[in-house]
Homo-oligomer: A and B are copies of this chain.
């Protein structure tokens, strides 16, 4: 099974980059899993503007995102929480990617995870982030993974300080892979 995995953050030191890297380590332990680990900068694109779309179509970064989604069976996205919701940058990427037909997220299994320095571990954001993906037809896995106090959760090598976090992520990813395996288009 091919999986596209990325953190929806442009910032280099982003906690969500660390979290997706940990998730990918776990994903790779599963037999038959092939990961496309994207750097979010590969999907850099301007703010959505209907006039720009009409004149020049979907920008390069958006096309790249669409192409990469189309090439996989499933997705894992790690997203920060900004002001209690989905980051503008991720929603903007979704808005552009949804302008192609069929919508590339339609029918794709998706696991959402998120890290935040606060005490709630991006939990509000994760529940809001599900919505546009579900509107587009993605099969968002019911359980999600929120990492609270992210600034204290990784060591210098970017590994989880607390082994319970790794165990929790392993268990979740295992169930998610079983879900994705069943839903993937054969």
Contact = CB atoms under 8 A, between A and B. Distances in A.
A83 B50 contact: no
Interface in A114-142: 119-121, 123-124, 127-128, 130-132, 134-140, 142
Interface in A57-72: none
A76 B136 CA distance: 21
Contacts of A30: none
Given A11-B49, A12-B51, A127-B124, A86 B85 contact: yes
A35 interface: no
Size band of the A side of the interface? 35 or more
B82 A48 contact: yes
A171 interface: no
A95 B123 contact: no
Given A82-B95, A87-B91, A50 B14 contact: yes
Contacts of A138: 142
Contact of A91 (B82, B120, B142): B82
A158 interface: no
A47 B87 CA distance: 10
A62 to B, nearest CB: 11
Interface of A: 9-14, 44-52, 82-95, 98, 119-121, 123-124, 127-128, 130-132, 134-140, 142-143, 148, 179, 182-183
13 contacts: A45-B47, A46-B47, A48-B88, A49-B89, A82-B91, A84-B131, A84-B135, A88-B88, A91-B92, A120-B120, A120-B121, A124-B127, A140-B142
